[in-house]
Amino acid sequence: MNTTVALIEDRAVLSLSGRFDFNAHREYRDALERLMSYADAHAFEVDLSQVSYLDSSALGMLLVLRERAGRVNAPVALVGAQGSVRQVLDIANFSRIFAIR
């Protein structure tokens, strides 16, 4: 998996590509630290448009971001999920805890 982190206006954006699974946990953790370092961010966004696969461990990693963002009262949106990635999010009822666009 590849990650990029950017501050766009007042949103800290984490863009992911490739397979988002347990093997990506170290890279994700490092990206999460960079993401949380943006003191000017009032919201967080995870761009999943280039993710080809997502499993239950990835869902757990997204929940870690939600927990960390909650500590600073910032919303988290998941954007661009398509195909089987979107299906996994829907089956897990993630629309109840994340904004999904």
User: How confident is the model over 50-87, as pLDDT tens digits?
Assistant: 999 999 999 999 999 999 999 999 999 999 999 999 99
Name the superfamily (CATH) of residues 2-100.
Answer: STAS domain (3.30.750.24)
Instruction: Give the whole-number percent of the chain exceeding pLDDT 90.
Output: 98
Q: Is 10 exposed, middle or buried (0-12, 13-18, 19+ CB in 10 A)?
A: exposed
Could you tell me which of 49, 10, 15 has the C-alpha nearest to residue 32? 15
* Secondary element (H or E) of residue 82: none
| pLDDT at residue number 94 | 98
83: left (phi over 0), alpha (psi -120 to 50) or beta: left
The pTM (predicted TM-score) of the whole model is 0.95
Instruction: Give the distance from CA 59 to its chain's centroid.
Output: 9
